[in-house]
Amino acid sequence: MTDAELAARLRSNLLGFKRLQASGIPDWSLQLPGVWAAVRPTAPQVLFLQQVLFSDAEALGSSLGSLEGFFRGHGIPAWRVQVPSGEPRAEDLLRQAGYLREEAFLAMGLAFADVPPAPPGTTLETLSTLDELIQLCARVFGSDVSPQPWHRQPPSTLHAIALRKQGQVLACGLCLDEDDTTGIYLVATAPEARRQGLASEVMRGLLAGARERGSAAAVLQATSMGHGVYQRLGFRTVGRWTNWVRRLERPAPPA
């Protein structure tokens, strides 16, 4: 499986996951031709919850005015557009519209046919609801803890696991299956339990489950902190994506 194929699988799976995150309230998302956006008004300062994904640069350029109105209307002070590698036209359009290039992250993927199985070495728990996972992610990432319907009743394509010790969830992660691709998200370790290999164990559990369900590939986004963990598990870098951010001087009041 080529790098381009894995990157395309990530782009598609990520859109599915972001749509799931915004599924609780219809007004929190905006669908335009070739462009999709979502807000989280309950956490307006959390940048990664205010975002835009696109499939076509020209469609993105045509949508920038509508996108600004959408985010301003929800009182969002800053939002981001994720730009995959090899999209210079999109970058030019965003720069002209006042967006600034900020942090970058790595797109990574693996084809299961190329990587031998490596099951976890400890007991992992399947989570039937996402309440504990969301609470831990809020501690680690500063994300929103507002309850959403998909937290209590995850779809059958979503699979979450946790590593628990003495009744406390110390590490967790989830994955979304779409067609024969598994996207991995929200892998988190409690600050007091880091550097013990717990995230790697969770990852092994997620990958083992994906194999059993017949997935052909796994994809994810990696920060520099997590890159080495994922690489040791067989993932390879298939692109470098950049966040282009539009920041308002002052938060706009809600409409």
Residue entry with tokens 């989570």: 127
- C-alpha torsion 82→178→211→241, nearest 10: -10
Q: Are 9 and 111 in contact (CB under 8 A)?
A: no
Per-residue pLDDT of the chain (255 residues; tens, 9 = 90+): 999 999 999 999 999 998 888 887 778 999 999 999 999 898 898 888 899 999 999 999 999 999 999 999 999 999 999 999 899 999 999 999 999 999 899 999 999 999 999 989 999 999 999 999 989 988 888 777 677 888 888 899 999 999 999 889 999 999 999 999 999 999 999 999 888 889 999 999 999 999 999 999 999 999 877 888 899 999 999 999 999 999 997 545 555
Domains of the chain in sequence order? 3-106+240-247 (3.40.630), 111-239 (3.40.630.30)
CA-CA-CA-CA torsion sign (11, 244, 64, 60): negative
CA-CA-CA-CA torsion sign (138, 142, 146, 148): negative
Q: Are 1 and 111 in contact (CB under 8 A)?
A: yes
Which residues lie across from 52 on neighbouring strands?
A: 37, 81
Alpha carbon distance 22, 82 (integer Å): 17
